[in-house]
Structure 1
Amino acid sequence: MLDDFMVRATLAGVGTVLAAAPLGCFVVWRRMAYFGDATAHAAILGIALSLALSLPIFAGALVVSLVMATIVALLSGRGYAMDTLLGVMAHSALAFGLVAVSFLTNIRIDLMAYLFGDILAVSRADLGVIWGGAAMVLGLVAWRWSALLTSTLNPDLARAAGIDPKREQLVLTLALAIVVAVAIKVVGVLLITAMLIVPAAAARPFSRTPEAMAVIATIAAAGAACGGLWTSYRFDTPTGPTIVCIIAVLFCLSAMVSGLRSSFTARSEG
C-alpha cells in the first residue's frame, strides 16, 4: 500500500496538517505569524548544516528553528519593535541559509524542494518523521491546552491561576519548531506559515469556542491537502503551492460567507 507515492503523499499531507492546524490557532490568537516566518526561514540554515555534517534533515532544522525562536524570545522587549525584530531575523536567517547551501559543493541539493516542498518524494522514513512529529505536537498541545489558552487570552489571569506565561510560550515555541521541521518536506520553508495561519483564519468565523476553531481548522486543512494533491496530479502543478492555494481559496470563501452572514444579520436587526 505504501509503495504508491500518492498514498504516501496523502498521509504526509494529513500528518502535517494535524500538527499545523491546531497550533496555527494559537499563532493567530497571539498574532505570531511573523514569528512562524522567522522560525521557518531559519530551517534553511539547519538543512545546510545537516547536509554538511551528514545529520538527518529533521534534526538540523529542528535545532536551528529552536535556536532562532529562543533568540527572538530573548531579544523581544529590549528596545526593538517585535515586527521589526522578526523581519530582520527572518530574512537574515534565510539569507545566511542560502549562502551556507552554496558552499556545499560536493553535495547535490534540490533547493526548490526545500523552499517549496516535495511531497510527492516522501519516503516511508519521512512518513515516520512526519507522523512522529505530529504526535509530539498534538501531545504537547493537548497536555497544555488549558494553560496555553489561558495565557494567550489573559496573561494576568494565567499568573493568578499559577500559570507561567513564559513557560507556555516556550511550549508553543517548541511545538512550532517541530511543525517547521516536519512540514519542510510537504510545503517547504517559504509556505509553512501559510499552513499554520490560513486554516485557522478560515475557521475563525464559524467557531464559537477555541476547541471548535481547532477542529474546523484541522478538517479544512486536511481537505485542502487532499484537494491540493488531486489538483496538482490532475493539472501537473507544483504540489506544495497548490495545497496552499486551495487553503487560500477556502479562506476567501470563509470570508465571503462571514461577510454575507454579517450583512444579513445587520439587515434583520434593522
Structure 2
Amino acid sequence: MLDDFLIRALLSGLAVAVAAGPLGCFVVWRRMAYFGDATAHAAILGVALALGFQISIFIGTSMVALMMAMIVSALAGRGWAMDTTLGVLAHSALALGLVAVSFLPNVRVDLTAYLFGDILAVSRFDLGVIACGAALVTALMAWRWRALLTATLNEDLAHASGIDPARERMVLTVALAIVVAVALKVIGALLIAAMLIIPAAAARNMARSPEAMALLAIAIGMVAVWGGLQMSLRLDTPSGPSIVTVAAAVFAACLAGAALAAAAQKRLGR
C-alpha cells in the first residue's frame, strides 16, 4: 500500500495535522503567531547546514528551529520588543539560509520544495520520520496538557500549583521545533505557521472547551490535507499552498457559520 505515492502523501499530511492541531491551539492562545513564523523561516538555514555538513535534513532543521525558538524565548524574557525582534530574526534566518545554499559546492537542490512543500514526493523514509516526529509531539502535548493549559491561562495560578511556566514554555518550544522539522516536506517553511494557526483559529469559533478546540483543530487540519491533495490532483496546483487554501476556506466557513448562529440567537432572544 505504501508504494502508492498518494497514500504516503495523505498519511504524512494527516500525521502533521494531528501534531499541529493541539500545538496550534497554544500558538493561538498565547499569540505566538510570529514566534512560529520565525521558527519556520529558520528551517531553511537548517536545510543549508544539513546539506553542507551532510547530515539528515530533519536533524539540521530541528536543531536550527530549536535554537531560533530558544533565542526568541530568551529575548522575550529580557523585555525586547517582540514584533521587531521576530521580524528581524525570521527574515534574516530565511535570507541567510537561501544565501548559504548558493555557496554549497556540488549541491543542487530545489529550494521551492522546502519553501512551499512537496508532499507528493514523500518517500517511505520521510513518512517514517514524519510519523515518529508527529507521535512524539502528540505524546508531549498529551503528557503536559494540563500544565501547559494552566501556565497559559494564568502564570500566578501555575506557580501556586507547583508548575514552572518557564519549563512549559520550553516544552512548547521543543514541540514547535519538531513540528517545523517534520512539516517542512509537507507544507514548506513559508506555510508551516499557517497550518498551525488556521485550523486552531477556525476551531476556536465552534469549540466550547480547550480539549474540544484541540480535537476540532486536528479534524480541520485533516480535512485541509485531504481537500488540498484533491485540489492539487484535479487542478494541478501546488500541494502545500492548496492545503493551506482549503484550511482558509474552512476557516471562512466557520466564521460565517458562527456569525449566522449569533445572529439567529440574537433574534430568538428578542
In which range does the TM-score fall when normalised by the shorter chain? over 0.9
1:95 aligns with 2:83: no
1:141-152 aligned at under 5 Å gives the runs 141-152=141-152
Q: Distance in 1 between matches of 2:267 and 2:87?
A: 42
Secondary structure of the residue aligned to 2:205 is helix
Secondary structure of the residue aligned to 1:7 is helix
Q: Distance in 1 between matches of 2:129 and 2:148?
A: 25
Secondary structure of the residue aligned to 1:182 is helix
Q: Distance in 2 between matches of 1:79 and 1:259?
A: 38
1:192 deviates by 0.1
Q: Deviations over 1:42-75 (max 9, x none)?
A: 0100000000111000000000000000111111
Q: Which residue is equivalent to 2:238?
A: 238
Query: Which one-letter code corresponds to 1:161 in the other structure?
Result: S
Q: Which residue is equivalent to 1:44?
A: 44
Q: Distance in 2 between matches of 1:98 and 1:266?
A: 53
Q: Distance in 2 between matches of 1:236 and 1:102?
A: 29
Q: Distance in 2 between matches of 1:249 and 1:3?
A: 31
Q: Distance in 1 between matches of 2:182 and 2:264?
A: 42
Q: Which residue is equivalent to 1:162?
A: 162
Q: Distance in 1 between matches of 2:77 and 2:61?
A: 26
1:112-123 aligned at under 5 Å gives the runs 112-123=112-123
Q: Which residue is equivalent to 1:214?
A: 214
Q: Which residue is equivalent to 1:53?
A: 53
Unaligned runs of 5+ in 2: none
| Percent of aligned pairs with the same amino acid | 64
Q: Deviations over 1:99-129 (max 9, x none)?
A: 1111123111001000000000000000010
Secondary structure of the residue aligned to 1:243 is helix
Q: Deviations over 1:217-268 (max 9, x none)?
A: 1011101101110110011110010000000000000110011111122222
Q: Please give the TM-score of this superposition, normalised by the length of structure 2.
A: 0.98
Query: Which one-letter code corresponds to 1:256 in the other structure?
Result: A
Query: Which one-letter code corresponds to 1:218 in the other structure?
Result: I
1:242-261 aligned at under 5 Å gives the runs 242-261=242-261
- More off after superposition, 35-44 vs 259-268: 259-268
Q: Distance in 2 between matches of 1:2 and 1:78?
A: 48
Q: Distance in 2 between matches of 1:20 and 1:104?
A: 32
Query: Which one-letter code corresponds to 1:3 in the other structure?
Result: D
Query: Which one-letter code corresponds to 2:30 in the other structure?
Result: R
1:79 deviates by 4.4
Distance 1:165 1:79, change over 3 A: closer
- More off after superposition, 28-37 vs 84-93: 84-93
- More off after superposition, 54-63 vs 224-233: 224-233
Secondary structure of the residue aligned to 1:144 is helix
Query: Which one-letter code corresponds to 2:57 in the other structure?
Result: I
1:8 aligns with 2:28: no
Query: Which one-letter code corresponds to 1:65 in the other structure?
Result: A
Distance 1:201 1:93, change over 3 A: same
Q: Distance in 2 between matches of 1:116 and 1:58?
A: 16
Q: Distance in 2 between matches of 1:155 and 1:81?
A: 20
1:197-212 aligned at under 5 Å gives the runs 197-212=197-212
- More off after superposition, 69-78 vs 43-52: 69-78
Query: Which one-letter code corresponds to 2:6 in the other structure?
Result: M
- More off after superposition, 172-181 vs 93-102: 93-102
Secondary structure of the residue aligned to 2:184 is helix
Q: Please give the TM-score of this superposition, normalised by the length of structure 1.
A: 0.98
Q: Which residue is equivalent to 2:30?
A: 30
Q: Distance in 2 between matches of 1:106 and 1:15?
A: 34
Q: Which residue is equivalent to 1:171?
A: 171
